[in-house]
Structure 1
Amino acid sequence: MNQVVVNVVKARLRRQLVGWGRWMGFEVLGKEESIDFLSPYRIAATPGDQAVLPDVNDFIDADKLVFGRTTAMPEPGYVWQYQSNARKATLLRCGALFSESKVLCLDWRGNQRLLSDFVTLQPRAIRDVDTVIAPWSHYLDGVRFGGYYDYLVLVAGKLCRIKEALPADVFNQAVVAYPLFNTAYEQELLALIGFSGGQIFDSRSTDLRFTTCILGNSGHWFYPNMEDLMALKRQIELQLETDAYQSNRIYISRSGRRRIVNEDALIAMLKKYDIQIIEDRPRTVAEQVAIYRNASFIIGPHGGSFTNILWCRPGTHLVELFSSNYVPDFFLYMARQLDLRYSAHYFGPESENRFSQLEEDILVSVPDLERRLEQFFSEKSTA
């Protein structure tokens, strides 16, 4: 389905949702309308500074352009401390604020499942609290929302933006509520950011009633506001011990989608260059931070693990491997913002639609890559 059709379908669904809302006695605000509604309650704002991303030629074939020069336009990041002037406000099951007969949307334009939040017969436990932090207002679908990258960029980074905008006593006494991802990394990150178990609620099962709600908006999915990620970096690294730097060369393996189909041959070659193989298995956030913080050279297939370049030291070199049918540039964006070195490579015929196969596996020409690595590390040793 092309983007024009997608936009038409989304617009039609939004018109239907607005119509249903009026019929049921509430108003559904779009993202811009929600930001306007909350303007009197704004307590912090971070500009969305644009970033110029340079041409990136292929790591192996220097005559092949992987990314053309472009300008990334992150959105401003806001924090609001909303005070309900009437009866207590609440969050819908999806985590959206519902108050004054209005439903706010601060993450993405429209929420196609809002109507089900009003008509579902499944009860939620009611709980009264003073202040709730509401960082996210969508259900997870396992494709667009629901992975490690999504959580760090869209939820954890925003929570750190909110934490740094609030007085410590307000943050410490507040609860947080949204449709939880229910992952081990979520639990660990929430604890590192400063939330205990008794402060965390799943909006799908608990109907929180409150007079004060702390909210923040989501920005561009590919080009997040880097102030959010830097806030996350500050908050997490404050809680974790820093070991002596080891300057490791590492390969990040993937066992699910976008895996390297000839990985056995690739790994055998990489070991010749003292590249450690990081297998795809569950790890704590602390372990992932340590792996990336101690790396000087990283290579592997495009995937959510590369969100961890946030913990890398400036100058670390990331080599990202793609299929020719899925070549997104958001780790190029992060690497540039973090003062890392970046290279990219894909093997095979170039695709006209570089976002057509999100889950396609990746083939690597091992002999070509070996010749390039031999040259690369030789140049490094003589530099």
Structure 2
Amino acid sequence: MDQTSLPFGTFETIKDWLDSEGDSWAGGNMLKKIHGEFPVPQNAKLRPPCPPSWYPNQFSGGDVSVIPNGRIWGKNGAILTPDNYLIGDVSFEGVHITSENHSIFKQKGLPSVSHYKNVADLTHVYSGNYYHYMYEVLPRIDLLHQSNLTINYYVVNEGFGERYQSETLKRLGIDERQLVPTHDHFHLQAEKLIVPSQPSFPTKWAYEFLRKTFSNPNTSSSDKKRIFIKRRWSRNFTNIDQLVELLEGLGFVTLELEDLSVANQVEIFSSAEIVIAAHGAGLTNLTFCQPGTKVLEIFAPTYIIPHYWAISALGNLRYHYLIGEPKDSSSGVKNEWAGGDNITVDIDKLKTYIEENLLA
């Protein structure tokens, strides 16, 4: 088969592909279930106003598949079968991009392949984001460890090497010399391509893995703090000075997380009594809060998603949310991505909410 030709089509999952093959690839294929599904706890009834379909009835399980002579293409890490089909759910390129519209089908052809032995896929299109890395990349290493498979190299996305990535890989005993970064013309074939599940929403097994690996059981529970997380980059508060003045007057400490190690962030959140923050990746660290910690997530009205509600549910946290004021359309400023919109919060409304729900 010509490995530089475009895929013949797509399968949504590896299981779909295996089912279509019957016994023809049975000599080396494997799909091993590591974790089962888990019902969504009913303890977090206060849900952000997202479409009902965004709230699963159960958190996804996790598995590991082996694809003999499987391939990885491109900077985002598309997974290709030996008979040249794209596997959609582990070749994710964005929330609005279907498998049929994957960028691989826009190519004139594929580059020649480089050959490896036992390779594991750790790519994710958003792996440069702290939340996506911590919940959608790092826990897959635990799936791989539990599979007991021999792995020589790990394929990661180009640009890999943020401080939190290096710190966490070191904690897991992964040698950076084992990392193979992708690039625009990347095309690798492995004798055994090992592909762990790529979740798109928090999972119980990822939550438990992160707590087991990074939580410090010696963190003092007597020194509880009220913390406000201030964002340095996008999705800032337009009236941040008034907000900080209010919160510090109520005993909150203002923190920026961007320059802190993962260990420092874990320590801060594990000793928090109350956490207030705009929706953003820093809230990934709710994973390390103690049960009963109060959380107030503040959204822009244009961008509301339930991921940190889910983490709060997994951790038995007392989750709350507020939605900022409607955006002033007369400003003429429009972001291509609504997630970049800044937030204006009604200070009086926020003060009342905090006093009645978080401090009462």
| TM-score relative to the length of structure 2 | 0.78
Figure out how many residues of one structure are paired with residues of the other and give that number: 328
2:50 is equivalent to residue 72 of structure 1: no
* Structure 1 residues 154 and 304: alpha-carbon distance in aligned structure 2, compared to 1, 3 A threshold: same
Q: Identify the residue that residue 202 of structure 2 maps to in structure 1.
A: 224
* Structure 1 residues 25 and 185: alpha-carbon distance in aligned structure 2, compared to 1, 3 A threshold: closer
User: Following TM superposition, where does structure 1 have runs of at least 4 consecutive aligned residues deviating by more than 6 angstroms?
Assistant: 67-70
More helix by share: 1
For structure 2, which runs of at least 5 residues remain unmatched after alignment? 20-28, 93-97, 329-336
* Structure 1 residues 241 and 200: alpha-carbon distance in aligned structure 2, compared to 1, 3 A threshold: farther
Q: Report Cα offsets for 1:43-99 as digits up to 9, x if no partner.
A: 224333342665528xxxxxxx85698842443322113334xxxx44223423444
Q: Report Cα offsets for 1:290-341 as digits up to 9, x if no partner.
A: 1111112100111111011111111111101112222222211210121111
Q: Give me the whole-angstrom Cα distance separating, in 1, the residues matched to 2:325 and 2:253.
A: 26
Match of 1:374 among 343, 355, 358: 355
2:171 is equivalent to residue 192 of structure 1: yes
* Structure 1 residues 48 and 112: alpha-carbon distance in aligned structure 2, compared to 1, 3 A threshold: same
2:265 is equivalent to residue 316 of structure 1: no
Q: Give me the whole-angstrom Cα distance separating, in 2, the residues matched to 1:99 and 1:362.
A: 44
Q: Which moved more, 1:293-302 or 1:273-282?
A: 273-282
* Structure 1 residues 378 and 134: alpha-carbon distance in aligned structure 2, compared to 1, 3 A threshold: closer
Contact 2:156 2:181 in 1 (8 A): yes
Q: Give me the whole-angstrom Cα distance separating, in 2, the residues matched to 1:378 and 1:233.
A: 27
Q: Identify the residue that residue 229 of structure 2 maps to in structure 1.
A: 252
Structure 1 vs Structure 2: percent identity of aligned residues?
A: 18
Match of 2:321 among 344, 355, 370: 344
Match of 2:262 among 280, 285, 299: 285
Q: Identify the residue that residue 8 of structure 2 maps to in structure 1.
A: 27
Q: Give me the whole-angstrom Cα distance separating, in 2, the residues matched to 1:197 and 1:22.
A: 29
Please give the secondary structure, in 1, of the residue aligned with 2:137.
helix
Structure 1: which amino acid aligns with 2:193? C
2:119 is equivalent to residue 132 of structure 1: yes
Q: Identify the residue that residue 36 of structure 2 maps to in structure 1.
A: 47
Match of 2:16 among 31, 36, 49: 36
Q: Identify the residue that residue 265 of structure 1 maps to in structure 2.
A: 242
Q: Give me the whole-angstrom Cα distance separating, in 2, the residues matched to 1:275 and 1:77.
A: 38
Contact 2:211 2:288 in 1 (8 A): yes
Structure 1: which amino acid aligns with 2:314? Q
Q: Give me the whole-angstrom Cα distance separating, in 1, the residues matched to 2:264 and 2:252.
A: 18
Contact 1:127 1:207 in 2 (8 A): no
Contact 1:52 1:72 in 2 (8 A): no
